[in-house]
Amino acid sequence: MPIIHIKSEVEYNKYVSQGKLTVVDFFAEWCGPCKAIAPRFENLSNIYRNANFLKVNIDEMNSLASGLSVASIPTFIFYKSGKTLHRITGANYGEIESTVKKYYTEGGMPTTGGHVLGTGKAPAPGHRATGSNAQGEPGSFQQFLNNPPQTLILGLVIVILIFWFTKGKASDDDYARWLKS
């Protein structure tokens, strides 16, 4: 389904109240990250055709954006049946895509690859229903490590802690013993 450019609050409310997934991109023409994510957002709209993909220009629809507390752009809000499911601030394509996959349904059935109740085998004991993508689940340690500034900070904290606990007195012998272990 092509992207729908929202021109009024009535039109916006019509789409977000529908029973299917609606993803709204709050953007501005002058915003660099908004321009960078736009082709990928459009690609998602072509893949997930049973969902609504809306774009709201905050310069044209300022009252709507402020009413929804959109303080920075791009901001993506996910809806189904008028209920807010998730909110993402920033052009984090991995998180946007994984959130679409999480909430998307086709023909009323989730697209998770699961079984309809009563038609398949029960999951194995200890089975966890989690996604497995290279980006990691939202909030996971893997997703944390995929963010270069956070990884750098974590590395610096580890170095500082090592230095603190050894009081800077690690000798070559200590280093050699550590390498052998």
Q: Catalytic: which of 6, 24, 34, 56? A: 34
**C-alpha atoms less than 13 angstroms from C-alpha of 26 in its C-beta half-sphere:** 24
Q: Is 34 considered catalytic here?
A: yes
Q: Is 46 considered catalytic here?
A: no
Q: Are strands 22-27 and 52-57 parallel, antiparallel or unpaired?
A: parallel
Report the Cα 111 to chain-centroid distance in Å: 17
| Assigned token pair, 105 | 């349904």
- Start-end of H helices in 68-128: 93-103
With CA atoms as reference, report the closest residue to 99 among 143, 38, 36.
Answer: 143
With CA atoms as reference, report the closest residue to 1 among 43, 57, 56.
Answer: 43
- Neighbour count for residue 159 (Cβ, 10 Å): 10
Q: Catalytic: which of 16, 21, 23, 31? A: 31
Tell me the catalytic residues: 31, 34
